[in-house]
Amino acid sequence: MAFDYDLFVIGGGSGGVRAARIASSEHGARVGLAEEYRMGGTCVIRGCVPKKLMVFASGFPGAVADACAYGWDAQIGEFDWSRFRAKLDGELDRLEGLYRAGLERAGVTVFDCRATLAGAHEIRLADGREVSAKHILIATGGKPVVPEAWQGQGVMTSNEVFLMEALPKSILIVGGGYIASEFACIFNGLGVDTTQFYRGAQILRGFDEEARGHIAHEMVANGINLCLGTDVKEMEGRNGQTWVKSTTGHDRSYDAVLFATGRKPNTDGLGLGALGLGLKANGAIPVDRYSQTAVPSVYAVGDVTDRANLTPVAIREGHAFADTVFGGTPRFFDHGLIPTAIFTQPEYGTVGMTEEDARAAGPVDVYSAAFRPMHSLFAGRDNRAMMKLIVCRKSDKVLGCHIVAEHAGEMIQLAGVAISMGATKAEFDRTLAVHPTMAEELVTMRTATRSHTG
């Protein structure tokens, strides 16, 4: 059977674009790609990139305060959201243009419309056309979910937050994951009266418990009203604001409410059911380690598979897929060791096992230190950094590294290299400290803080 394309990709985010480019430019495949919104996906348009730029913006008041403490005659005025947003929109336009140019140079045919599956090899476009492909890759990502009880109440999600017409004077953020916690820090840094509700006992569930507690303490110290064990009970509009009644008596009105209570794979209406392709309970597409579904011609990468929902992971999965299917080199991405950063204030960088997971797996030694960094100490701030290594007692291999500090994301990248190479604690100890830095603590912790027998 002759197909219109060797590969058709549904979704123009990081994973889909990488797969399309590699399959076309490096392996000579005929590739088509459909994107219904904007090229770049969640990361570029409504995720990592605009969020990180907001993180930068929110850090300047603290930087100016530190400058004063260091002797500078410095001051900062009001934050101009409209000016920032105009520049942000321009930057996102620039990045989207780069994504499109990259696909064009690679010879990929782009369709600016929604696409769904009409069969194991057939794709139906929103304009009514139907095309065929030997292989189909689904890379439609995920989307934020608002609990049904609060839908239609005018609340924002992470999709809408970058489209605000004005910066609110007060905001309630509902959720305790990294998106909720990051935005709580962002808005607080921008001078917004910020409250965060989380129904659990501690934010950042699934991460290292000591690090979670350290971040929560610092967030509260920085002025965020963090309400744990708290959820929304009632909500209604009052005098241009949103009045919220909580389960713990924290009742008040806010100019804006942001829900960051979870995301789900973006599989609704794709036509997967007609192919007999069963989905997981949350809508995720089951795949094997080569990203292949139960329908041999259909593959999926990125957040739509709900394996590890991070942009670099989607890119690696997309590249591995292209090399496997079109390059004759079977490859898969190992999800076992993933360095990542959470851009709270302070940042959290992590790679490898949490103390809790390592303790359950066998005997471990934990090396942990909390201290006031030189920069903030001199400025008169009480902020504390935390460094932590988790070491297998039998092999001396470093199983996990956790850093809570300014620029933790930059530090964890290099720690991730060492740990992925199987570095031992002795090798960390033999590495000369770079002084004076925060990171030197990683190679100067010589005595275990605590040990677990497993």
pLDDT value at 274 more than 90: no
Domain 346-452 CATH class label: alpha beta
Query: Could you tell me the pLDDT band of residue 152, with boundaries at 50, 70 and 90?
Result: confident
Average pLDDT over residues 237-244: 94
Cβ contacts of residue 282 below 8 Å, gap of 6+? Answer: 264, 265, 306
CA distance 229 to 345: 22
CA distance 341 to 411: 10
Q: What are phi and psi of 93, to 5 degrees?
A: -60, -40
Q: What is the pLDDT of residues 74-93, one digit of tens each?
A: 999 999 999 999 999 999 99
What is the model's pLDDT at position 454?
76
Average pLDDT over residues 131-150: 96
The answer, yes or no, to whether the previous bond of 436 is cis (omega within 30 of 0) is yes
What is the model's pLDDT at position 57?
97
Residues in the chain: 454
Q: Which residue among the candidates 27, 217, 402, 435 is catalytic per the annotation?
A: 435
What is the model's pLDDT at position 450?
95
Average pLDDT over residues 55-65: 97
Instruction: Evaluate whether 5-144+264-326 and 346-452 have a shared fold.
Output: no
Q: What is the pLDDT of residues 439-450, one digit of tens each?
A: 999 999 999 999
Domain 148-261 CATH class label: alpha beta
Query: Could you tell me the pLDDT band of residue 276, with boundaries at 50, 70 and 90?
Result: confident
Give me the amino acid identity at 162.
F
CA distance 87 to 133: 40
Average pLDDT over residues 385-390: 98
Q: What is the pLDDT of residues 217-237, one digit of tens each?
A: 999 999 999 999 999 999 999
Q: Quick check: 64 and 140 in contact, CB under 8 A?
A: no
Q: Quick check: 439 and 433 in contact, CB under 8 A?
A: no
Query: Could you tell me the pLDDT band of residue 18, with boundaries at 50, 70 and 90?
Result: very high
Average pLDDT over residues 169-177: 98
Average pLDDT over residues 285-307: 97
Give the chain's mean pLDDT: 96
By mean pLDDT, which of 208-212, 271-275, 387-391 is the weakest? 271-275
Q: 5-144+264-326 falls under which CATH superfamily?
A: FAD/NAD(P)-binding domain (3.50.50.60)
Q: What is the pLDDT of residues 198-212, one digit of tens each?
A: 999 999 999 999 999
Query: Could you tell me the pLDDT band of residue 290, with boundaries at 50, 70 and 90?
Result: very high
Q: Which two tokens stand for residue 221?
A: 């110290």
CA distance 152 to 156: 10
List own/partner pairs for 274-283 with CB under 8 A and 24 or more apart.
Answer: 274/117, 275/117, 275/119, 275/120, 280/306, 282/306
Count of Cβ atoms closer than 10 Å to residue 289 Cβ: 14
Q: Domain ranges for the chain, please list them.
A: 5-144+264-326, 148-261, 346-452
Q: Which two tokens stand for residue 234?
A: 């009632």
Q: Which two tokens stand for residue 388?
A: 């932590």
User: Percentage of the chain with pLDDT > 90?
Assistant: 96
Q: Quick check: 38 and 153 in contact, CB under 8 A?
A: no
**Annotated catalytic, 435?**
yes
What's the per-residue H, E or C state across the chain?
A: CCCCEEEEEECCCHHHHHHHHHHHHHCCCCEEEECCCCCCHHHHHHCHHHHHHHHHHHHHHHHHHHHHHCCCCCCCCCCCHHHHHHHHHHHHHHHHHHHHHHHHHHCCEEECCCEEECCCCEEEECCCCEEEEEEEEECCCEEECCCHHHCCCCCECCCCHHHCCCCCCEEEEECCCHHHHHHHHHHHHCCCEEEEEECCCCCCCCCCHHHHHHHHHHHHHCCCEEEECCCEEEEEEECCEEEEEECCCCCEEECEEEECCCEEECCCCCCCHHHCCCCCCCCCCCCCCCCECCCCCEEECHHHHCCCCCHHHHHHHHHHHHHHHHCCCCCCCCCCCCCEEECCCCEEEEEECCHHHHHHHCCEEEEEEEECCHHHHHCCCCCCEEEEEEEECCCCEEEEEEEEECCHHHHHHHHHHHHHCCCEHHHHHHCCCCCCCCHHHHHCCCCCCEEECC
